[in-house]
């Protein structure tokens, strides 16, 4: 490849990466506060979304605060009335982005009731108006309530409780349109996943939302996908095509490829600009949910194509670790490395552990120190400051762990 073609390829790659970051809803310096009830309090869809942002955009500096409280309605709940909840658990962090997920408790687990619905609608509107008054430039994502599982088990109320939640979802969507908010539908895609999963494995599909209200990690992963899609999250981690005969990289999207060598097989150095979203494939319910949805194609494409190979089966290794054996046809069509145990996937999993770690510290500071001990005469500032400092250390480690690394790829005939 001559200098001009190399320059064009580099500019194309850089432009693609910049465009992807520009289209994404979150920006450098943002503070995101997740607000909601027990489903947000589980800190699963929220931490999955956070890890995606860290691994897909390792250059961004975005702060995430997880402020869900079990039992909450639009009026508040166990954490106090809504005005206190907003002031202490949202406004105090000066968010630039806020997500609101309520409705599961508000509809009271019964058939549709017009008076109850109006309590929800007016309360939800008040939250939006109060937050806009506090921060006029706040970008709010109004989340349509996640489903009550009427798919894998029989409905508990006439017509199904999820049909009630869908009416609440429609209100949230309409409000978002009226108030110029972003809206995220976390109901429809989860129901579609439940339906497909139930057809494949009825017993296992019940584990996606084990108690019909609170999803397990499998359900939360699909919810995180829906939220991220509403933020214009890109699907591609990287997209590489190696010409085995010519010994060149025909395509390198969001990655740098170098040192291609055809001695004793095919070898090259590759540094992707992002990491894949970590998936716990050992969790059978997670695997079922992922394969019953478009999660991989929509959010987790780490593609490798190798053209010009002689017919046969090949072993792919990365940093000396075997990824798997693939036919020349499979490699020519392309494999999604995000489906395999690679060093990149392991690195992303380490990032997610740190995501959980800093959230656990914040949770302890908030729910075990700040809230229960406030007003009892204790000096809390020093303890809270120490925990904040510890959390910041973990966040720094998290960001460092998310930085992509160069890897050695080897493709040899399988023995």
Does domain 25-230 fall under CATH 1.10.8.50? My reply is no
pLDDT at 46 over 50: yes
pLDDT tens figures, 137-160? 999 999 999 999 999 999 999 999
Can you give the pLDDT at residue 138? 98
pLDDT tens figures, 79-109? 999 999 999 999 999 999 999 999 999 999 9
Would you place residue 20 in the very low, low, confident or very high pLDDT band (cuts 50, 70, 90)?
low
Extents of the domains making up the chain: 1-24+235-415, 25-230
pLDDT tens figures, 312-323? 999 999 999 999
Q: pTM of the prediction?
A: 0.94
Can you give the pLDDT at residue 415? 85
pLDDT at 178 over 50: yes
In the 3-class helix/strand/coil scheme, how is the chain assigned residue by residue? CCHHHHHHHHHHHHHHHHHHHHHCCCCCCCEEEEEECHHHHCCCHHHHHHHHHHHHCCCCCCEEEEEECCCCECCEECCEEHHHHHHHHCHHHCCCEEEEECCCCCCCCCCCCHHHHHHHHHHHHHHHHHHHHHCCCCEEEEEECCCCCCCCCCCCCCCCHHHHHHHHHHHHHHHHHHHCCEEEECCHHHHHHHHHHHHHCHHHHCCCCCCCCCCCHHHHHHHHHHHHHHCCCCCEEEEEEEECCCCEEEEEECEEEEEEECCCCEEEEEEECCCCCCCCCCCHHHHHHHHCCCHHHHHCEEEEEEECCCCCEEEEEECCEEEEEEEHHHHHHCEEHHHCCCHHHHHHHHHHHHHHHHHHHHHHHHHHHHHHHCCCCCCCHHHHHHHHHHHHHHHHHHHHHCCCCCEEEEEEECC
pLDDT tens figures, 228-281? 999 999 999 999 999 999 999 999 999 999 999 999 999 999 999 999 999 999
């Amino acid at each position: 490849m001559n200098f001009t073609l190399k320059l064009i390829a580099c500019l194309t790659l850089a432009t693609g990466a910049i465009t992807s970051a520009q289209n994404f809803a979150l920006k450098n310096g943002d503070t995101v506060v997740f607000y909601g009830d027990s489903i947000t309090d589980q800190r699963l869809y929220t931490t999955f979304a956070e890890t995606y942002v860290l691994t897909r955009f390792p250059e961004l500096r975005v702060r995430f605060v997880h402020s869900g409280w079990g039992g909450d309605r639009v009026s508040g709940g166990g954490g106090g009335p809504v005005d206190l909840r907003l002031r202490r658990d949202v406004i105090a962090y000066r968010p630039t982005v806020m997500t609101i997920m309520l409705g599961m408790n508000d509809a009271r687990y019964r058939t549709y009731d017009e008076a109850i619905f109006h309590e929800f609608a007016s309360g939800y509107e008040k939250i939006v108006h109060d937050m806009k008054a506090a921060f006029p430039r706040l970008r709010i994502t109004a989340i349509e309530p996640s489903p009550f599982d009427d798919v894998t088990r029989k409905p508990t109320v006439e017509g199904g409780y999820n049909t009630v939640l869908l009416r609440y979802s429609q209100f949230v969507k309409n409000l978002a349109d009226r108030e110029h908010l972003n809206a995220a539908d976390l109901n429809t895609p989860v129901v579609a996943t439940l339906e497909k999963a139930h057809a494949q494995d009825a017993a296992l599909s019940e584990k996606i939302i084990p108690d019909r209200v609170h999803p397990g990690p499998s359900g939360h992963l699909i919810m995180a996908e829906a939220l991220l899609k509403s933020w214009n999250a890109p699907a591609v981690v990287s997209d590489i095509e190696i010409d085995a005969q010519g010994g060149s990289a025909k395509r390198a999207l969001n990655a740098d490829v170098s040192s291609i060598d055809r001695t004793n097989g095919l070898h090259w150095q590759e540094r992707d600009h992002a990491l894949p979203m970590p998936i716990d494939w050992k969790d059978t319910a997670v695997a079922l949910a992922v394969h019953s949805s478009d999660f991989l194609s929509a959010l987790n494409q780490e593609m490798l194509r190798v053209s010009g190979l002689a017919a046969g089966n090949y072993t792919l290794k990365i940093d000396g670790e075997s990824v798997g054996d693939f036919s020349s046809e499979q490699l020519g069509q392309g494999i999604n490395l995000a489906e395999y145990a690679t060093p990149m996937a392991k690195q992303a999993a380490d990032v997610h552990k740190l995501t959980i770690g800093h959230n656990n510290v914040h949770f302890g500071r908030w729910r075990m120190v700040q809230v229960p001990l406030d007003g009892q005469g204790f000096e809390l500032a020093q303890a809270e400051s120490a925990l904040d400092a510890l959390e910041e250390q973990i966040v720094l480690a998290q960001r460092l762990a998310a930085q992509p690394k160069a890897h050695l790829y080897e493709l040899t005939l399988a023995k």
